[in-house]
Amino acid sequence: MSTPHPCAGEVLLGIRHLNKRFGGLQVTNDVTLDLRAGVVTTLVGPNGAGKTTLFNQITGHLVPDSGEIHWMGRPLLGKRPHEIARLGIARTFQDLRLFDHMTVRENVLTVTENRAWLWQPGGRSARDERAARVDAILDRTGLAGKAEARAIDLAYAERKFLSIARVMATGARIWLLDEPASGLDRGSYGHFLELLRSEVRNGVTVCIIEHNLDIVVSISDRIAFLDQGRLLADGDPQTVLNDPHLAAIYFGEQTS
């Protein structure tokens, strides 16, 4: 998708032989996958393939039955979601999980509250630094004009951008984005792609769950294809998307 970032290649998240079962349903089946710095990896697969479940295991919202996950070489399993977030792993949720009755600005500010280390005051106070950083994020996500609106009063696309703004405010090294562009009109997803590309250029690593193949093609450096909990392919976008076997699985499910 873009010129690789200078530190591209280092394995940030190493997933090994991960398994998760819900009753009789194997939702993660021996998944081994590396998420590398500077690489945009897209998780693709039919509904119910286990994509969100994989995110949930990385972020500590679900505990795998077996397998390992390492963050920059250190074991991640056993840590709680807030500890994992603090390590530099941020995510969005399909249901966005905004603070509906807070303003847009407050939604972003709350993320920065426990991250004093991000703000290195020079002449200004840490509080002013935070406020300036939040303003910059609202500007970049197109929400500056809505800063004092309550989240619940935003249009759908604005709510999606607010969830991205909250991820930006974490200063995380890797972003796990769960269908961030679903339901966006073309103009909004053009803006979303631009924003994502610029963050990747600045060193953010992204793993994204996406169904819109236009977006998948335009943003991915690499595609990991999941079906029924299994990783069926992991490679360059053209190879994966042109595989007739995978297309039959994907479109078969899509049209059923």
Ligand X SMILES: Nc1ncnc2c1ncn2[C@@H]1O[C@H](COP(=O)(O)OP(=O)(O)OP(=O)(O)O)[C@@H](O)[C@H]1O
Task: Find the binder of ligand X among 41, 52, 59, 92 (CB under 6 A).
Answer: 52
Q: How far is the CB of 117 from ligand X (least distance, A)?
A: 33
Q: Find the Cα–Cα–Cα–Cα dihedral 208, 169, 15, 218, rounded to 10°.
A: 20
With 0-12 CB in 10 A as exposed, 13-18 as middle and 19+ as buried, what is 141? buried
Kindly tell me which of 55 and 192 has the beta carbon lying closer to ligand X.
Answer: 55
Quick check: 33 and 231 in contact, CB under 8 A?
yes
Q: How far is CA 14 from the centre of its chain?
A: 16
Query: Applying CB under 6 A, does 69 fall inside the site for ligand X?
Result: no
206 binds ligand X (CB under 6 A): no
Judged by CB under 6 A, the number of residues near ligand X is: 11
DSSP-derived letter for residue 211 is -
Which residue in the set 9, 10, 17, 22 belongs to the binding site for ligand X (CB under 6 A)?
A: 22
Residue 62 CB, shortest distance to ligand X, in Å, is 7
171 binds ligand X (CB under 6 A): no
Q: Give CA–CA dist 200/37, Å, rounded.
A: 10
Contact between 180 and ligand X (CB under 6 A)?
no
Kindly report the three-state secondary structure assignment for every residue of 27-46: EEEEEEEEEECCCEEEEECC
Q: What is the DSSP letter of 99?
A: -
Stretch that binds ligand X, among 21-29, 126-134, 190-198, 245-253 (CB under 6 A): 21-29
* CB-CB contact of 146 with 154 (8 Å): yes
Determine if 53 is a binding residue for ligand X (CB under 6 A): yes
Piece of 20-28, 139-147, 158-166, 217-225 that binds ligand X (CB under 6 A): 20-28
Question: Looking at 47-55, 72-80, 81-89, 191-199, which segment touches ligand X (CB under 6 A)?
Answer: 47-55
Of positions 47, 120, 202, 242, contacts ligand X by CB under 6 A: 47
Binding-site member from 51, 105, 146, 160 for ligand X (CB under 6 A): 51
Asked whether position 49 contacts ligand X by CB under 6 A, the answer is: yes
Q: Say whether residue 48 binds ligand X (CB under 6 A).
A: yes
Dihedral in degrees, nearest 10, Cα atoms 202, 172, 122, 138: 80
User: Which residue lies nearer to ligand X by CB, 17 or 201?
Assistant: 17
Strands (DSSP E) along the chain, which ranges? 11-22, 25-36, 40-44, 66-71, 74-75, 89-91, 174-178, 205-209, 222-227, 230-235
Residues interacting with ligand X, by CB under 6 A? 22, 25, 27, 45, 47-53
